[in-house]
Each structure stands twice: as C-alpha cells, then as structure tokens.
Amino acid sequence: MSYGREVAAAARLDLAEVLRSRWIVFCAAVYAVLAGVLVLVGMRESTVLGFTGMGRVLLTFSHALVLVLPLLALTATGQVVGRARDDGSLELLLSQPIRRGAWLAGVTLVRLAVLIVPLVVLVIGIGLYGQARGQVIPWGFVWRVLFISSALLWAFVGIGIAISVLVRNQARAITYVVLAWALAVALLDVGLVTLMLKWRLDPHAVFTLAALNPVQDARLALLSNLDPDLGTLGPVGFYLSTRVGQSNLYVLGLLWPAVLGTIAWVVALLGFRKGDVS
C-alpha cells in the first residue's frame, strides 16, 4: 500500500470517530454561537449608532477567534494519541499494513479539517449575510481572517499532537493542554506589560516574547490592517505595528504560526516513531 493510501485510510477511520463523537457538531456550534451573538450586536449598533455593523462584527470576531481557536485545536488533538493507546485501537491499527507516520498524518489532517472547514463556511456566510443586508464588507479582511486563522489552528494542532504523543498520562496531557493555552493567552499585551512592570524585564525581552507568541502574531496580523490604533492593538501591539510595519506583521502572523506548528508536528512524529504504541 502506498503512503498516500495509508494516510487516506487512517483519515477515513479517524473521520468516522470524529463524526461518532459529534466533535465537528460541537466545533461548528461554538463558531456559530460566537458569530451569531456578534452579528446581532453588530447589526443593532449599525442602526442605533450609525456604524458599519458588519465591519465591527468582523473586528470583534477576530478578537474572539485568536483566543478560542487555540483552545479548540488543543482540545481536539491533545489526547488523540493517548486515548488510542489506552483503548488498544492504536496497537490494533498499527498491526495492519499502515505506517506510524501515515496514521499520525491522517489523524492530523482530519482534526485540522474539522477545525478549518466550519470556520471557512461561517466567516464567508457572515460576509454574504452582511452584503445581503446592504453592508459594505471588507472582503480583503475576510480572506485575511481565514488565512491567519488557518495558520493559527495549524500551530496549535501541531502543539496538541506533540503533547498527545509525548505525554502518556491522560490527566497530565489535559494539564499541559490547559497550560499551553493559558500561556499563549497570558503573553498578550496586558500580561506582558504586567510582567515588565512586576519583574522589571527589559522592554526588548517583552517585545521578543510577544513576537514569539503565535496568538499575539495572529492578533496583530488580523487587526493592524483594519484598525491600527492604540486602543485596538494595545501598547505592545501598537509598538510592534509601528516598528515592524503592517505588511511585515501580516507575514509574521502567517508564517510563524505555520512554522511553529510544523516544528511541533515533526517533533511529535519523531517521538511517535520511536515510542511504544501500547
């Protein structure tokens, strides 16, 4: 069996498991509830305050996405390998003519697709709904949201797969998942400024931590082009926006999460090939 067919076979099996667990329904519901609330608020503000409602919806939605997407990605992947080990399905599957790397690739692709596809449908749906209501939709920003969100999802899918492979105890894996998400959220503007003031960190160290945080990079890449002011970006983000530039922030927000996710996934692959399946 070719490697591609092995990956496809593993993907079909994992997709069946995802559909049985209704994870895709849960993921779509989270996106839909979040967007639905923001659409209602945005359309209300557009009539009451005279703002462009859907533009505000997309801006607010972007703020929420950079916090929600990492948590969804980590919970979708942080226990997938460990759970397969514990219930014996991994040992059974790998007794068939399928390589470890193919199985891991198939599972990763399914989990990533389950996270991305509902988001693409929903974001484009928001844009079309707003356009049908006579709103001016910044479609360039819509595509930016989708590209940056996909890169951010890949970063935390890779991290989640690495946690699942390297941490065998399921309780500890959950702890690491929560810590990874909390650390990424904590190293945004408020947390970084607090660290700088409390521990008297060098400002350059603070800005380096900000640039290494994929959530911060994604946030700046999404927001700097649409509304590049101090109130939106925060002090750290405003500094990076003025020093690095909007175009470079977009490249950083797209490439660094993708690179980080790839590094984490390769580490997971190497550990999975060498580790015990039971």
**Distance of alpha carbon 184 from alpha carbon 215, whole angstroms:** 6
Residues 6+ apart with CB under 8 A from 54: 39, 42, 43, 46, 126, 127, 129, 130, 133, 135, 136, 137
Return the pLDDT at 47: 45
Q: In the chain, which ranges are continuous DSSP H helix? A: 3-21, 23-48, 53-77, 80-86, 89-94, 100-132, 139-166, 170-186, 189-199, 203-212, 214-223, 230-244, 246-274
Tens of pLDDT along 111-149? Answer: 999 999 988 988 888 788 778 877 777 788 888 889 999
Return the pLDDT at 50: 39
> Average pLDDT for residues 26-55, to the nearest whole number?
62
More confidently predicted of 258 and 13? 258
Angle CA 230–252–67, to nearest 5: 60
Instruction: Answer whether residue 269 shows pLDDT above 90.
Output: yes
Instruction: Answer whether residue 199 shows pLDDT above 80.
Output: no
pTM, to two decimals: 0.86
Highest mean pLDDT among 85-89, 126-130, 168-172 belongs to 168-172
Instruction: Answer whether residue 181 shows pLDDT above 70.
Output: yes
**Distance of alpha carbon 211 from alpha carbon 240, whole angstroms:** 8
Q: What is the mean pLDDT of the chain?
A: 79
> Average pLDDT for residues 174-190, to the nearest whole number?
82
% residues pLDDT > 70 (the chain)? 75
Instruction: Answer whether residue 235 shows pLDDT above 70.
Output: no
Instruction: Answer whether residue 207 shows pLDDT above 90.
Output: no
Kindly indicate the confidence band of residue 3, based on its pLDDT and cuts at 50, 70 and 90.
Answer: confident
> Average pLDDT for residues 145-158, to the nearest whole number?
94
**Distance of alpha carbon 57 from alpha carbon 62, whole angstroms:** 8
> Average pLDDT for residues 35-60, to the nearest whole number?
58
Q: What domain range is 251 assigned to?
A: 3-274
Write out the two tokens for 263.
């590094």
Highest mean pLDDT among 39-48, 70-79, 154-163 belongs to 154-163
> Average pLDDT for residues 231-243, to the nearest whole number?
62
More confidently predicted of 215 and 162? 162
**Distance of alpha carbon 133 from alpha carbon 100, whole angstroms:** 50
Domain count, the chain: 1
